[in-house]
Amino acid sequence: MERLLKILNSSLNALITIILSAMCIFVFLNVVLRYVFNSGLTWSEELARYLFVWVVFLGAIVASKDKGHLGVDLLVSILPRGWQRIAYVLSNIVIIIVLGLFIDGLIKMMALNSGVTGPGTGLPVALFYLAGLFAAVCMIGISIIQAVQFGFFNQNPPSWVKEAADANDVNLSNKNGGTKS
């Protein structure tokens, strides 16, 4: 399982790198063609826009996997470990519900724009929404796995749990009048 996750993570990072590189090359090539040769690629800006949307959503998957999204942990970090686990599971349930609503909206937008194509590339506009759909499904899976790991098996805790445990260890050693050995 660990090996499979490492392979998926590496391939996701490689895909992000390839897409970002392609996006930069297309935009740079178009700028050079416009200012040096007085012509340009009509499709490059639109394709760069599609690629940018995909990079953003693929990056959101990576941030979700690494627990890198912003969160306010001021209250949760001072709770006892058991309550932290409960709060973490509840917050992941809220995340899953919100992502479910996001998926519902994306599906409706894909149906609404099913026949619309981009003027420069001819690619379906639904590809924008497909990026969000793919990311939301992946992040739901990640949220479920992370909630089960920490909430039920006390493994793979978020960073604020470690900080709270370190702070509690320091407080206990100060109360005992000695230093922690």
Residues 125 and 116: beta-carbon distance below 8 Å? yes
Count structural domains, the chain. Answer: 1
In a domain, 180, yes or no: no
Residues 93 and 85: beta-carbon distance below 8 Å? no
Q: pLDDT digit string (tens) for 54-73?
A: 999 999 999 999 888 888 88
Which of these, 18, 65, 22, lies nearest to 44 by C-alpha position?
22
pLDDT score of 177 more than 70 = no
Q: What is the pTM of this model?
A: 0.81
Q: pLDDT digit string (tens) for 75-130?
A: 888 889 899 999 999 999 999 999 999 999 999 999 999 889 999 889 999 998 99
156-168 mean pLDDT: 66
pLDDT score of 166 more than 80 = no
In a domain, 181, yes or no: no
| Residue numbers of the domain that contains 160 | 2-175
Residue 162 has what pLDDT? 58
